[in-house]
Chain A
Amino acid sequence: MKKNSKLKLLINPFTHIAGSSALIIGLIIIAVTIFLAQMNGIVFDGVFDVHFAPLSLPQAFIVQGIAFVCLVIAMYLAGRIFSKSEVRFIDVAGTLALARAPFILAAIIGFLPSTKDGLALVKNFLFTQSITTEDMFGFLSFFIVTVIAIVWFVVLAYNAFKVSCNIKEPKNFIVFIVAIIISELIAFCINYFVVMKTFLLSSIVALMPSETPATPPAELKPINDIAIQVAECLKDKDYDCMSADFDEVMKKGFSKQVMESMNEQLDIAFGKFEGVGQEVKNSTEGEFRLVFVPCKLEKGSFNLQCTFNKENKVCGIFIRPAS
Chain B
Amino acid sequence: MFPCNCPSCQSLLKVKSLKCENCGTEVLGLYELPLLARLSPAHQDFILKFMKNSGSLKDMSKELGLSYPTVRNLLDEIIDKINSYEKEF
Determine the residue in chain A with the shortest Cβ distance to B75: A85
Min CB distance, A30 to chain B, in Å? Answer: 19
Interface flag for B50 (CB, 8 Å): no
Within 8 A of A (CB), among B58-75: 65-70, 72-73
Give the chain A neighbours of B73 by CB distance below 8 A.
85, 163, 166
Residues 5-39 of A, flagged 1 when their CB comes within 8 A of B and 0 if not, give 00000000011111100100000000000000000
Residues 54-92 of A, flagged 1 when their CB comes within 8 A of B and 0 if not, give 000000000000000000000000000000111010010
Determine the residue in chain B with the shortest Cβ distance to A163: B69
Report whether A18 and B68 are in contact in the complex, using a CB–CB cutoff of 8 Å. Answer: yes
Report whether B68 and A14 are in contact in the complex, using a CB–CB cutoff of 8 Å. Answer: no
Give the chain A neighbours of B69 by CB distance below 8 A.
14, 18-19, 88, 91, 95, 163-164, 166
Report whether A18 and B76 are in contact in the complex, using a CB–CB cutoff of 8 Å. Answer: no
Between B67, B68, B69, B70, the greatest number of chain A beta carbons within 10 A of the residue's beta carbon is seen for B69
Range class of the B interface residue count: under 10
Give the chain A neighbours of B66 by CB distance below 8 A.
15-16
Within 8 A of B (CB), among A131-188: 163-164, 166
Report whether A163 and B76 are in contact in the complex, using a CB–CB cutoff of 8 Å. Answer: no
In angstroms, Cα B69 to Cα A242, docked, is: 58
Give the chain B neighbours of A15 by CB distance below 8 A.
66-67, 70
In angstroms, Cα B68 to Cα A91, docked, is: 8
Give the chain B neighbours of A166 by CB distance below 8 A.
69, 72-73, 76
Partner among B65, B72, B76 whose Cβ is within 8 Å of the Cβ of A16:
B65
In angstroms, Cα B68 to Cα A126, docked, is: 54
Give the chain B neighbours of A86 by CB distance below 8 A.
72
Determine the residue in chain A with the shortest Cβ distance to B80: A84
Within 8 A of B (CB), among A228-265: none
Report whether B70 and A14 are in contact in the complex, using a CB–CB cutoff of 8 Å. Answer: yes
In angstroms, Cα B70 to Cα A14, docked, is: 8
Determine the residue in chain B with the shortest Cβ distance to A87: B69
In angstroms, Cα B71 to Cα A18, docked, is: 11
User: Given A18-B68, A91-B68, A163-B73, 17 other A-B contacts at CB below 8 A?
Assistant: A15-B66, A15-B67, A15-B70, A16-B65, A16-B66, A17-B67, A18-B70, A85-B72, A85-B73, A86-B72, A88-B68, A88-B69, A91-B69, A95-B69, A164-B69, A166-B72, A166-B76
Interfacial residues, chain B to chain A (CB-CB below 8 A) = 65-70, 72-73, 76
Interfacial residues, chain A to chain B (CB-CB below 8 A) = 14-19, 22, 84-86, 88, 91, 95, 163-164, 166
